[in-house]
Amino acid sequence: MTSEALKPWERRRQVERVLNPRGDIRYAGLKFAVDMAVRYEWNIEPVASGKQRASQKSRTVWTPPICGEAELAVFAHEGGHVQDPDSDGRRFVAVQGKDGERWAESLEAELAAWQWAMARLARTWWGKIAQITMERCLSTYQRGNVKTAAQLTIFESVLKEGAFLAGGAVPLRPRPSVDLTRLREFHEGDARTADIQRVCDIMRRL
């Protein structure tokens, strides 16, 4: 049976089977996660913590049970990838890794998905743990993907937006510093930066 053929309560039950498999989670944000999945018609599949991902094509989010704020934040972030209206064109970029070139999610896609998550979770569900979770995820992108001063500004502004939502009291942990000599090799107003800003604006309005 395809998910389209299911009645709303059946869809809900199906989502709950993954987000709360044993029915014993007391975290209040769980209901919010279920509501989001039903509202945006995501297909939900189970996966171990740390292996969360999303497929826009099949509108699928792979997630562990939603036991707390960290899981909810990443769940909303993955949903942000599904909802991203422009994901195909910019979701993956080739990056130079230790073992040669590999494909990774673009900084634009990451920032857009986090902004989508923040806009949904807002003040009610976005607290210090969500903020720290986002920082941890984004810090892996900073080193290879933030290449211009303007990109760094936008990157930092997303972190600040989250800190503000979380109550303004989140100590931003030191992140790997950006090599300023390298920054100067790039032009500040390059097209990719304009693209990030545009995507952020679009995502905010959704």
The pattern of x and - marking residues 46 through 85 that bind Zn ion according to CB under 5 A reads ----------------------------------------
Measured from the CB atom, the residue of 11 and 120 that comes closer to Zn ion is 120
Measured from the CB atom, the residue of 32 and 141 that comes closer to Zn ion is 141
* Beta bridge mates, 96: 101
* Beta bridge mates, 184: none
Helix axes 69-83, 107-125, angle to 10 degrees: 130
DSSP label at residue 23: S
Hey, what are 52's tokens?
């969360």
Nearest to 76 by CA among 43, 116, 103: 116
Number of residues near Zn ion (by CB under 5 A): 1
CB 110, min distance to Zn ion, A: 5
CB 13, min distance to Zn ion, A: 28
CA distance 16 to 10: 10
CB 24, min distance to Zn ion, A: 29
Measured from the CB atom, the residue of 52 and 153 that comes closer to Zn ion is 52
Q: Rounded to an integer, what is the distance from CA 31 to the centroid of its chain?
A: 19
Measured from the CB atom, the residue of 16 and 161 that comes closer to Zn ion is 161
Site for Zn ion in 83-142 (CB under 5 A): 113
CB 109, min distance to Zn ion, A: 6
Cβ partners under 8 Å of residue 15, min gap 6: 34, 37, 38, 44
Hey, what are 119's tokens?
């806009």
Measured from the CB atom, the residue of 25 and 203 that comes closer to Zn ion is 203
| Interface positions with Zn ion (CB under 5 A) | 113
